[in-house]
Amino acid sequence: MTTTSIAGHTVDVNDEGFFVDPNQWTEDMVPALARAEGIDDLSEQHWQVIRFMRSQYQEKGTGPTVRVLGKTSGVTVKELYTLFPKGPAKVAAKIAGIPKPRGCI
Amino acid sequence: MKRIVVLGCGTGGTLVANRLRQRFDRHAARITVVDQDDVHVYQPGLLFVPFGLALAEDIVRPRRRQLHAGIDVAISAIDRVDVDGNVVHLSNGESLDYDVLVVATGAVLVPEETEGLLGTGWLQNVFTFYNLEGAQALGDRLAQFEGGRLVVNVVDMPIKCPVAPLEFCFLADWYFRERGIRDQVDITYATPLDGAFTKPAASHALAGLLEEKGIELVTEFNAGEYDEAARTITSYDGRVVPFDVAVVIPLHGGAPYVGRSEHLGDELNFVPTDNRTLQSQVRPNIFVIGDAANVPASKAGSVTHFEGETVVDNIERFLDGADLDASYDGHANCFIETGFHKALLIDFNYDTEPLPGHFPGPLGVPLMKESRLNHLGKLMFQWFYWHVLLPGRDVPGLGSAMPHAGKKQGART
């Protein structure tokens, strides 16, 4: 675990860069978190996915996998990859300040 | 008299029904098992069919014959479950009321969810060995295969038996060596995971084996589209893997009736289930065993086997009004065939990664290491499956909880 500074806030992240405590996340960190993942322009669809990840995490205790995102977020898997080319579930979880989705077991 | 209905008569449904029959007097409970057909496939045997190492008739038996006397059987597809009315509606028009329901209908293949997969090449140059029809067709194709690119592709998790695709790669390497054409065949393993396997310690050992056998590993490959005319698989992030023969493990989901039953399943038709008690989170009188559950354990026969005791204990406790026992620990135990009459064994649970050492104690078979003894273990397991596991017999010295004795704690491989 390391401590890092995002948009002026101090937060704890794990070795892979995921938030350790999702409560440390605030919406104003999103542009900086997205830039770190190579996303400079956040569209309304990016925000839709990020907010969906947050609400799913709050409801279920884990973020959805890509397949579940494609079925439930209103954005198709193909579009998700256009929005988050490096892997939608992982990258969106990182930007949304929630742990890595534990779909792969 | 209590009415217990078990949906599904595969590994989990059979062993739970048999254990329940042993537990409850015939006057105390009526047990009814439902399945859509009378064909029980020994699924671990499917891996061997494409290589001519097992015949279809060796791995199939009637479902009814695996059940103890005093268990009712209904052969019908399931239309839906009414979780508020405590009734199962069958496709043949009948309905079954229950006091306790056990969902044991496993996972189904959904190849139609991947673009192009069920195209003109399906069962011509694209196959799965995850059902009997596919395993047999693949066997015919491999027998004619004289060289080229063989790609083994897992579309996405979760899948049944996550080690089986790797075992397929190892056995293919052996098979083509035996035929003297291994140098004419490129074998590629394309997986959505970031390594060879889901568990880091085992993943490392298995990646080493792939490399040793000259099998190319392509990771984080999320197959988006099959083009069977061009014979390519394209990932969502635009990478292309060409093939001459593709062996695909399609997407999995829960049984379709789960999706038709209001409140019963999640987005993928698996049933939300407590990891430790195996009671569903849907209704307290619904329990789940095996692949049908959404618990974070492998979808594997060994998991189903080890869950059996907890499910049966908790059904009894529930009917007695007692607190449930949270004793299932996520125990899984897998023999991994590596070819050349050898296999390795891994043993793990929710909290403990696969460790080297010996199983089930210091004098047992080796863990995380190839050996002939483990291969014999895998072969003998089929006898054990029909004669011990399905009838619900307990084996002295082999409990459901993961054993720690014999394991090298904190060891790295």
> Residue B241 and residue B190: Cα distance in Å, rounded?
8
CB nearest to A67's CB, from B156, B193, B237: B156
At the topology level, CATH places domain B111-251 in: FAD/NAD(P)-binding domain (3.50.50)
**Is B224 in Cβ contact with A78 (below 8 Å)?**
yes
Which pLDDT value is given to residue B369?
87
Q: Which residues touch B140 (CB under 8 Å, ≥6 apart)?
A: none
Query: What pLDDT, in 10s, does the model give residues A37-48?
Result: 999 999 999 999
**Is B267 in Cβ contact with A68 (below 8 Å)?**
yes
For chains A and B, count residue pairs whose Cβ atoms are closer than 8 Å: 41
| Main-chain dihedrals φ then ψ at residue A99, nearest 5 degrees | -65, 160
Name the residue with tokens 């054409």.
Answer: B181
Using CA of residue B237, residue B220, residue A99, residue B294, what is the dihedral sign? positive
**Residues of A acting as catalytic residues:** 104
What are the residue boundaries of the structural domains of chain B, listed by start? 2-106+255-320, 111-251, 331-413
- Smallest CA–CA distance from B222 into chain A, residue: A87
Instruction: Tell whether B195 is within 8 A of chain A (Cβ).
Output: no
> Residue B229 and residue B189: Cα distance in Å, rounded?
21
Pick the CATH number of A2-95 from 3.30.43.10, 3.40.309.10, 3.10.129.10, 1.10.10.370: 1.10.10.370
> Residue B17 and residue B31: Cα distance in Å, rounded?
7
Find, among B314, B251, B246, the residue nearest to B277 by Cα: B314
**Is A72 in Cβ contact with B267 (below 8 Å)?**
yes
**Is B251 in Cβ contact with A81 (below 8 Å)?**
no
Identify from B236, B237, B268, B275 which residue to disrupt to test chain A contact, counting A C-beta atoms within 10 A and taking the largest count. B236
Which contacts of B397-400 are long-range, i.e. CB under 8 A and separated by 24 or more positions? B397/B360, B397/B361, B398/B360, B400/B305, B400/B306, B400/B307, B400/B308, B400/B309, B400/B310, B400/B327, B400/B328, B400/B331
Task: Establish whether the linkage from the previous residue to B192 is cis, with ω within 30° of 0.
Answer: no
Would you tell me which residues 4-63 of chain A have a C-beta closer than 8 angstroms to some C-beta of chain B? none
B2-106+255-320 and B111-251 have identical folds: yes
Which contacts of B118-122 are long-range, i.e. CB under 8 A and separated by 24 or more positions? B119/B226, B119/B227, B119/B228, B119/B229, B120/B228, B120/B229, B121/B226, B121/B228, B121/B229, B121/B231, B121/B246, B122/B228
pLDDT less than 50: residues of chain A: 104-105
Which pLDDT value is given to residue A103?
57
Find, among B126, B130, B125, B91, the residue nearest to B110 by Cα: B130
Which pLDDT value is given to residue B404?
86
pLDDT (tens digit, 0 to 9) for every residue of chain B, 413 residues total?
A: 999 999 999 999 999 999 999 999 999 999 999 999 999 999 999 999 999 999 999 999 999 999 999 999 999 999 999 999 999 999 999 999 999 999 999 999 999 999 999 999 999 999 999 999 999 999 999 999 999 999 999 999 999 999 999 999 999 999 999 999 999 999 999 999 888 887 877 888 899 999 999 999 999 999 999 999 999 999 998 999 999 999 999 999 999 999 999 999 999 999 999 999 999 999 999 999 999 999 999 999 999 999 999 999 999 999 999 999 999 999 999 999 999 999 999 999 998 889 889 988 888 888 888 999 889 888 889 999 999 999 999 877 777 888 888 888 754 43
Find, among A36, A37, A10, the residue nearest to A25 by Cα: A10
Read off the DSSP letter of residue A19: B
* Mutual angle of helices A88-95 and A44-60, in 10-degree steps: 80
Would you tell me which residues 272-311 of chain B have a C-beta closer than 8 angstroms to some C-beta of chain A? 296-298
Q: Which residues touch B6 (CB under 8 Å, ≥6 apart)?
A: B13, B16, B17, B20, B31, B32, B33, B34, B101, B102, B104
Instruction: Tell whether B222 is within 8 A of chain A (Cβ).
Output: yes
Contact B193, B157 (CB under 8 A): yes
Q: How far is A8 from chain B (nearest CA, A)?
A: 32
Read off the DSSP letter of residue A29: G
Which pLDDT value is given to residue A1?
78
**Is B156 in Cβ contact with A66 (below 8 Å)?**
yes
Name the residue with tokens 């990891």.
Answer: B275
**Contact residues on chain A for B156, CB-CB shorter than 8 A:** 65-67
Which pLDDT value is given to residue B204?
86
Read off the DSSP letter of residue A62: S
Which pLDDT value is given to residue A105?
40
Torsion on CA atoms B83, B86, B90, B91, rounded to nearest 10: -40
CB nearest to A71's CB, from B222, B236, B267: B267
Which pLDDT value is given to residue B363?
83
Q: What tokens does B2 get?
A: 């209590």
**Is A87 in Cβ contact with B156 (below 8 Å)?**
no
**Is A68 in Cβ contact with B268 (below 8 Å)?**
yes
Task: Establish whether the linkage from the previous residue to B158 is cis, with ω within 30° of 0.
Answer: yes
Distances (CA, A) of B189 to B138, B203, B219, B222, B283: 17, 13, 8, 12, 41
> Residue B256 and residue B274: Cα distance in Å, rounded?
21
* Secondary-structure class of domain B2-106+255-320 per CATH: alpha beta
**Contact residues on chain B for A86, CB-CB shorter than 8 A:** 237
Which pLDDT value is given to residue B413?
39
